[in-house]
Structure 1
Amino acid sequence: MKAGVSLFQKLILALLIMLSLIVLVFWLIYRLNIQEIQGELKKNKIAEVKFMTSQLSNQFEQILMNTIVLSEDQSVRAYPNMLKFGDEYSRYETKLNIIDKLALNSASTPWNNTVILYFPDLNETVSSDPFFSFSEFVLPDQPLHVWTIKQEKKTGEYYYSYLVKSHKSPLYIEVRIQLSQIRKVMSQYTSGTPLLYDARNRMLIQNDSAPLRNEAAKLIVPLLQGDDGFLSVDNNGTPYLLNYMKLDMMDFYFIDYHPMRQLIEPISRNNNYFIVAMVALLLLSLVYIFLLHRQVQLPIHKLRRAIEKFDQGDFSSRLTDMNEYDFRLLGSSFNRMAENTQVLIEQVLHGELQVKEARLMQYQAQINPHFLYNCLNFIQSKASVNDTAAVSSMTLHLGAYCRYIHKIEQVDATLEEEINSVEHYLSIMQLRKKTISFTIEVPKHLKACRLPRMILQPLVENCIIHGIEPSEQSGHISIEAADLGNEFVLTVRDNGVGMEQERLQSVLRYMDEIFFSEMPIGIGLRNVNQRIKLYYGKEHGLLINSGPMQGTTISIRIDKQEEHHVSNIAG
């Protein structure tokens, strides 16, 4: 019987499925949280970057607007005429007035900037920085209306310079913004790491407090496409979130980059807590499985083994060492049932042994009586033609055969007696049918073994009636015995027509039927088969091999016995 899945295995499988579903659901929730955080972060970052970009644009725009206002100022426009036609005091007073206005202009913006006025026709310079106001005139060599990055020779600091020419007077105005001022504004951006990329000058401005490595900068710059964007980059195995936006009217990109690890660190920490909880839950599950195996599975396994032994005929099977209360009660109930069943089976077997002898005698009485009638007809026929030799031979063989089969008070006989009886029977059949021949080969040391009476004659009769008589050729029957140690095998073989497999299967099924049923085939074989099973047990019986036009072979496996079997089993 094929073993199914046990309850214990089902419980373990259900527990594993439950844990797998929990892990899967958690992983999905974790991924959804990451996506949700990225979405919210993208919205927040876009708003923050947009605000910062707007501030930078406004600062640059305000400085440029102040420059335009300065170019329209009356004092600035009148200063060239004052230099040409005014006295020295007026020139000096006007210059101081312009310097004050330039200083006021610089102070009106959050960024400290330097405004320089160049009058190229007069080689005059006026600036909010006294250094430029009283130094030699030098007009900057740079394109107009473009923010250009430059480096001061004395300090080495970088600054942005914007040069514009007035349309109403011979005047150039330069605005300088120190790079440190831009970094100062960027340092106020605390929600991420700010960068400012000057696409025209190909310069990356970053906060001094969090400088970006050159390889990271080279990785980020090629990704800047369009006016804004939000993307993820990987630098040396570290993922970053990158958000950028272009400033209005300038080739500047404000960039915010943030390590992904810092954003998802709280979730990762919670994830670790969950993993620890899952490991603890798994350990508890293993303890639960161990206890379940010890307190449920093992008692069930003991009960199943006891039932299997009981089902196989071991009625002495009992349950012991059942520690759990419920299983102890179940074991006690099983033991009482097994004990009562064993007593009942022993009583039934004792009664069956008492009737076995009577049943064996009944099987012997079922020998076909038509055989005797045919023999008498043969004698009458041969006597009518004065064939005394045939009559004498038939009479001798028939008398010996009948003397043997009518000893019904003896259930068993020696193999020698059984062979002699079959030899008389075959001699009778040979007298009646000259086309039949036979051979008998039995080792001498096996002739003293005992076996049920009249088990070979029905087999030989079956070979003649169903195998040789339907054949058009001469028939031959061989009887052999082979020693197998504790048992021997009797084989009856003919060279008749044999049987189709379908008919052979029908005969085999009919032989093994417990209750008698009316069938036109195999009655003699069934009687012998049932007698052998009653005599030696259910594991014994006839073995039949046959094929169309290949004859039939019948084998019987018999235990070696030198005492009367029935007397032994009846006790």
Structure 2
Amino acid sequence: MVRYHLFTKMVLLIVIMLIPVVLLYSYSNKMTTNVVVSELNRSSSNQLAFFQSQVNTSIEELSSWPITLIHDPDIEGFEQQDLESEYLNLDLINHVKRIQNKLSIQESSSNWRSSLSLYSASMKRMITENDARTYDKKELENANLPGWQVQKVTTGNEERYLFSWYTSSPYSARDVVENARSIIKLEFDSTNIQDMLDKFKSNGRRDPFYYIPGTGTIYNRTADIDRSTELLKQLDFTEIKDVDYRTIELGEEVYSVHTVISPATGWYLIDYIPLTDVLAPIKNSNRLFYGAVACLLFMSFLAAYLLYVQVQIPVRDLMHGFQRLKIGDYSVRLKPKGRNEFSFLSERFNSMVIQIQELFEHVYLEQIQVREARLKQLQSQINPHFFYNCFSYITSMAKLGKTDAVVAMSHNLSRYYRYTTRQEKDLVPLKEEIAFVISYLKIQKMRMSRLDYVMEIPEEMMELLVPPLVLQPLIENAVIHGIERSADASFIRVSGFEDEGRLCLEVEDDGLGMNEEAMRLLQNQLTRPMDEHSGCGLWNVNQRVQLRYGERSYLTFGKSPMGGLKATIYIDNIKKG
């Protein structure tokens, strides 16, 4: 099972808590955006439809003029006049004046700039507000077409459109130009529509314009023609309803394009709104929210990390320290960080471990001292076998009258027991230990004449202080287990040298020696608690040097070049007496 530490858990908890907030905000923001866009489109469509209705009202008002005028008594009376000569008489001139006056009054009744023309077939005259002239029938070539007629007119760099409406009398005439008695023509140009577009744009619209496929476009006077042209390229007017809107993308900009068709003229009123600009406050609000979430997430991560560093790591280190302490590793120490409660705990833990270690070392040292006291007690007692052999040798020599041998044995034996029973010093010069070893070897040599030995210890090492009886157990082990057990063995070499700042004392013999497995078992016995199967002297030597001089001081075994066993003592931090 995967285990997560505190930092990971806190980060996951913060992320899980923020996910519903972000999702709810995103959903709410999406709904709000949709509502804003929907209301914006509805409002724009309503405004556009209202403006279109105003334009249609003006156009329908204009288109009603010819119908009203065609029934005017003066115009009807003018239809019944016959022109007898090329020139008009006074009555006809007055009649024309009355008609011109009525045309002028009708034109002045609207804010739109328009013109009315009366074509009289019987009088062969076209009467306008300011003129009464003859006309050519070609001027009436569009009179047969129903509805508004649009003609594109170019003046210099300016393009405009003329809108014309024809009404004839009688209405039943099939060929208006040939059969109608009177024709009234209403005409206005697109500048009137431009005026209204300019006014409509000044009320906050983007760029309203009129368009009819196959004819052209009427722009407001400050229109962005290039952008409007690009938008028109993406509109399919075969699918557009009478009132409709489309969302169109131009590059990185998104536009909401609204269209309303004019039933009077068939032109589409088109306006567009950049949704990017409209939704910019919402996007800014989104950026602020997500930025705040990011900052909150970052601050939460930082707080979680600080909590992890200030709490989790010290607790984890403390747990590891207790685990190592549990398995007996008393060298463990915690490194205090900062000045807080956990640094105080670390310091107290280190103090506790130091005290426990000192207590264990003290108890262990006391155990060693007890064993050492027991060893000294044993050594201070007369070894029955060794004592019997020595006195047996003295008795034999006395019977043979060899007083020199008796004196020598007595002298060496007294020196041997005097050294082993001296307990007042913890350290002695190495030369005293060597002198004691030589006395022991002389005693053994008197018993075994074949025994020989050599001391290869530099003179400058003789003043170094060593624990008493640290070398004799190795010599005794070489004599008993190396020389006595082999009839061919006879030589012991004791040497001293320096190795990496440590004193090294080696004892070698040419006895039977030991195989690798036996040496490994003997080496392992030195590191385990002493039992009845362990050699008291060798185990005691190894424990004494390790406790007194540290881990770099110990007793080790190996094969001697002479064929027997080699025992080596390493003593670190040695001092002179």
* TM-score, normalization by structure 1: 0.57
Matched residue, 2:280: 265
Q: Secondary structure at the match of 1:100?
A: helix
Offset from partner CA, 1:169-212 (integer Å, 9 cap, x none) = 6122221121111111112223332122224x532222121133
Query: Aligned partners of 1:106, 1:326: CA distance in 2, in Å?
Result: 98
Give the gaps of 5 or more residues in structure 1. 355-412, 418-442, 453-485, 488-530, 537-560
Once residues 58 and 165 of structure 1 are traced to their aligned partners in structure 2, the CA distance between those partners, rounded to angstroms, is: 22
**Equivalent of residue 182 in structure 1, options 173, 193, 196:** 193
Map of 2:515 onto structure 1:
445
CA deviation after TM superposition for structure 1 residue 122, in Å: 3.0
The one-letter code sitting in structure 2 at the alignment partner of 1:46 is S
**Aligned pair partner of 1:161 in 164, 187, 196:** 164
Q: Secondary structure at the match of 2:65?
A: helix
Task: Return the alpha-carbon distance in structure 1 between the equivalents of residues 154 and 125 of structure 2.
Answer: 22
Displacement of 1:219 in angstroms is 2.0
| Superposed counterparts of 1:104-143, under 5 Å | 104-128=105-129, 130=130, 133-134=132-133, 136-138=135-137, 139-142=139-142, 143=144
Q: Is the 8 A contact 2:231 2:248 kept in 1?
A: no
Rg: which structure is higher?
A: 2
Offset of residue 321 of structure 1: 2.0
2:222 corresponds in structure 1 to: 209
Aligned to 1:195: 209
Q: Does the C-alpha gap of structure 1 residues 262 and 134 become closer, same or farther in structure 2, counting only changes over 3 Å?
A: farther
Distance 1:118 1:447, change over 3 A: closer
The equivalent residue for 2:485 is: none
Matched, 1:228 2:227: no
Cα drift, residue 25 of structure 1: 4.0
CA deviation profile, 1:487-513 (whole Å, cap 9, x unmatched): 9xxxxxxxxxxxxxxxxxxxxxxxxxx
Counterpart residue number, 1:102: 103
What pairs with 1:235-314 in structure 2 (closer than 5 Å)?
Answer: 235-278=250-293, 280-281=295-296, 284-285=299-300, 287-289=302-304, 291-314=306-329
SS at 1:42's partner residue? Answer: helix
Residue 41 of structure 2 is matched in structure 1 by 42
Partner amino acid for 2:215? R
Match of 1:364 in 2: none
Tell me if the contact between 2:208 and 2:219 (Cα under 8 Å) persists in the aligned partners.
yes
Question: Which residue of structure 1 aligns with residue 455 of structure 2?
Answer: none
Q: d(CA) in 1 for partners of 2:73 and 2:183?
A: 15
User: Amino acid of the residue matched to residue 260 of structure 2?
Assistant: M
User: Displacement of 1:278 after TM fit?
Assistant: 4.5
**Cα distance in 2 for residues equivalent to 1:564 and 1:231:** 106
Q: 1:353/1:251 Cα in 2 relative to 1: closer, same or farther (>3 Å)?
A: farther
**1:20 Cα deviation from its structure 2 partner:** 5.0
Residue 342 of structure 1: how far off its partner (Å): 4.8
Rounded to whole Å, the distance in 1 between the matches of 2:28 and 2:153 is 56
* Structure 1 residues 210-232: Cα deviation after superposition (integer angstroms, max 9, x where no partner): 13323332222546523221221
Does 1:315 pair with 2:330? yes
Q: CA deviation at 1:241?
A: 0.2
Summarize deviations over 1:137-187 as a string: whole Å, max 9, x none: 443322422222214577764211122322266122221121111111112
- Cα distance between partner residues in 1 of 2:121 and 2:93: 18
Distance apart, 1:41 and its partner CA: 0.7
Name the aligned partner's letter for residue 183 of structure 2.
Y
The answer (yes or no) to whether the contact 1:83–1:91 under 8 Å persists in 2 is no
SS of 2:102's partner is helix
Q: Residues 10 and 94 (structure 1 numbering): CA distance in 2 closer, same or farther, change over 3 Å?
A: same
**Partner SS, residue 96 of structure 1:** helix
User: How far apart in 1 are the matches of 2:167 and 2:342?
Assistant: 102
Which whole-Å CA distance do the structure 2 matches of 1:237 and 1:257 have between them? 15
Which residue in the other structure is 1:457 paired with? Answer: none
Measure, in 2, the Cα distance between the counterparts of 1:71 and 1:447: 140
Counterpart residue identity of residue 262, structure 2? L
CA distance in 1, matches of 2:359, 2:37: 79
> Which amino acid letter does the alignment assign opposite residue 11 of structure 1?
M
> C-alpha separation between the residues in 2 aligned to 1:341 and 1:177?
112
Aligned partner of 1:433 in structure 2 is none
Structure 2 partner of 1:327 = 342
Q: Give the AA of the match of 1:217.
A: L
Name stretches of at least 5 consecutive residues in structure 2 with no aligned partner.
172-179, 370-476, 482-512, 545-577
- CA deviations 1:18-64 (Å, max 9, x no partner) are 45555444433332222111111122112112211211221221111
Indicate the residue corresponding to 2:89 in structure 1: 88
Paired with 1:268 and 1:447, the residues of 2 have a C-alpha distance of 83
Q: Distance in 1 between matches of 2:367 and 2:71?
A: 136
**1-structure distance, mates of 2:245, 2:43:** 11
- SS in structure 2 opposite 1:41? helix
Shift of 1:235: 2.5
1:309 Cα deviation after fit: 2.6
RMSD of Structure 2 on Structure 1 (CA): 4.2
Aligned partners of 1:47 and 1:313: how far apart in 2? 88
Distance 1:224 1:94, change over 3 A: farther
State the TM-score, normalized to the length of structure 2: 0.57
CA distance in 1 between counterparts of 2:90 and 2:124 reads 19
When structure 1 is superposed on structure 2, of 236-245 and 72-81 the one drifting more is 236-245
Aligned residues: 385
Q: Provide the rounded CA distance (Å) in 1 between the counterparts of 2:52 and 2:537.
A: 117
- Given that residues 80 and 122 in structure 2 are in contact (C-alpha distance below 8 angstroms), is that contact kept between their aligned partners in structure 1? no
Distance (Å, rounded) in 2 between the aligned partners of 1:202 and 1:153: 14
**Contact conserved, 2:52 with 2:262, CA < 8 A, in 1?**
yes
**Separation in 2 of the partners of 1:447 and 1:109?**
128
Aligned partner letter, 2:250 = N
- Partner residue, 1:558: none
- Residue 500 of structure 2 corresponds to none
Question: Bigger relative contact order, structure 1 or 2, given CA contacts below 8 A and separation 6+?
Answer: 2
Q: Which residue of 2 aligns with 1:173?
A: 184
Contact 1:82-1:90 within 8 A present in 2 as well: no
AA in 2 matched with 1:126: I
Structure 2: distance between partners of 1:351 and 1:68 = 136
Q: Cα deviations across residues 62-103 of structure 1 (Å, max 9, x unaligned)?
A: 111222111111111111234547961221122121112112
CA distance in 1, matches of 2:154, 2:333: 107
